[in-house]
Amino acid sequence: MSERETFMPDEVLAASLAKKGPKQYTLWVDLEYCVGCHACTMACKAENNTPLGVDYNRVTEVEIGEFKDPQKSPDVRVYFIPMPCMH
Ligand code: SF4
């Protein structure tokens, strides 16, 4: 797998580049790389000048797994899911 395939499969990129007519852009966030820094939330907030407490882009934290045995390392994984408004 090439570095670019990590972000977009070749066939998806080729189909997108071959498409005629107006371009439609998209934002692809690979959740394996999201560290929950909220920079996207802050960038959106700055661009749209939203007031305090109003965020068009949120990042949620999801914890999956269990703390089964206190003597062992927990079997858990945390994912951050950025949720832009898609506008
Ligand atoms: S929180 Fe937003 S800016 Fe930070 S890594 Fe995740 S998607 Fe990127």
Q: Ligand 1, closest atom to CA 37?
A: 4
pLDDT band at 1 (very low <50, low <70, confident <90, very high): very low
Tell me, using a 6 A CB cutoff, whether residue 36 lines ligand 1: yes
Q: Phi then psi for 40, rounded to 5 degrees?
A: -65, -35
Q: Higher-confidence residue: 26 or 2?
A: 26
- Asked if residue 56 lies in contact with residue 87, where contact means CB atoms within 8 angstroms, the answer is yes
Say what the pLDDT of residue 6 is. 56
Kindly state the tokens that stand for 40: 């996207």
Kindly state the tokens that stand for 67: 């703390």
The residue extents of the domains of the chain are 4-83
Q: Ligand 1, closest atom to CA 38?
A: 1
Tell me, using a 6 A CB cutoff, whether residue 12 lines ligand 1: no
Q: Which residue has the tokens 């661009």?
A: 47
Q: Ligand 1, closest atom to CA 36?
A: 1
- Tens of pLDDT, residue by residue over 10-65, are 888 888 888 888 877 777 788 889 999 999 999 999 999 999 999 999 999 999 99
Kindly state the tokens that stand for 14: 């080729």
| pTM summary value | 0.67
